[in-house]
Amino acid sequence: MSEPVSRAGRTVTAGHRAPAFVADALRIAGKDLRIEFRTRSAFLAATVFAVLAVVIFRFTWDPTAIPAFDLAPGVLWVIFTFSGLLGLNRSFGLELSDRAYDGLLASQVSRESIFVGKVLANLVFVSGVQALTLPAVALFFDLHVGAAWGVLIGIVLCASLGLAAVGTLFAAIASNTRLAELLLPMMTLPFFVPLVIPAAQTSAVILRGQPLEDAMPWFKLLLAFDLVFVTACIVVFPYTIEE
């Protein structure tokens, strides 16, 4: 691990001190992202899957029947959800080989920091895939987002935070089971309903060029979900670990 200096003054009981908590979380996220950056296996798989899905959706669509701005939000969020799941599966899977997870748990890092670190890494992963998919959808579906790009990116980040938090928690649960990656979509998809529907509805408002006030109820729901579930997942994460 890098930066041994910053850990020098810590005691074992100081797991919840804010600066140490954040520093530990960032260190865990950095570790996961470094592994991903060096192997690039999951990112490549998720991105290729996302672009392929956009192309396939394009061929199932009759532009004379449904306008692009009506179809695109649904396509966008279906792809984001499934490509996100590809990355989430990997999150705890990579800790299982050589029992790396036991080493992580035996370290001084608090359980909550491990979780937040994993969520941050997954958020970066999901956002990276989205950064490539969003222009692809705009290009293939000939969407004109105009000045609302900023708002759209904000909505995407908001939904991705909830997606990463809930997905990371269930990835931790799934890694303890016989079915592992098969079980993850079954458990998470019902939880993604209050994320994907508001996100798709908000994106639809933006793409149709409607006033942003129309999307406010959906946006509030999205924020409430993030607030409730990010907190709840941090609280229950330690229970997913076998003591």
Position 234 contacts another protein (CB under 8 A): no
**Contacting range for another protein; rule: CB under 8 A; set: 17-25, 45-53, 141-149, 189-197:** 189-197
Q: 61: left (phi > 0), else alpha (psi -120 to 50), else beta?
A: beta
CB 229, CB 190: distance < 8 Å: no
Binding mask 142-171 for another protein (x = CB under 8 A): ------------------------x--xx-
> How far is it, in rounded angstroms, from Cα 184 to Cα 180?
7
**Contacting range for another protein; rule: CB under 8 A; set: 2-10, 75-83, 102-110, 184-192:** 184-192
Least gap, CB of 168 to another protein (angstroms): 13
Q: Which one of 96, 176, 208, 210 is in contact with another protein (CB under 8 A)?
A: 176
**Contacting range for another protein; rule: CB under 8 A; set: 11-19, 25-33, 35-43, 229-237:** 229-237
CB 76, CB 171: distance < 8 Å: no
Q: Which one of 167, 198, 206, 226 is in contact with another protein (CB under 8 A)?
A: 198
> How far is it, in rounded angstroms, from Cα 194 to Cα 4?
42
Q: Which one of 218, 219, 226, 230 is in contact with another protein (CB under 8 A)?
A: 218
Q: Residue 221 class from Cβ within 10 Å (0-12 exposed, 13-18 middle, 19+ buried)?
A: middle
Q: Residue 203 class from Cβ within 10 Å (0-12 exposed, 13-18 middle, 19+ buried)?
A: buried
Q: Which one of 108, 194, 223, 234 is in contact with another protein (CB under 8 A)?
A: 194
CB 145, CB 152: distance < 8 Å: yes
Position 78 contacts another protein (CB under 8 A): no
Q: For residues 120-139, which are near another protein according to CB under 8 A?
A: none
Helix locations, 60-110, DSSP H: 68-96, 100-106
Residues that bind another protein (CB under 8 A): 166, 169-170, 173, 176-179, 183, 186-187, 189-191, 193-194, 197-198, 201, 217-218, 221, 224-225, 228-229, 232-233, 236, 239-240, 242
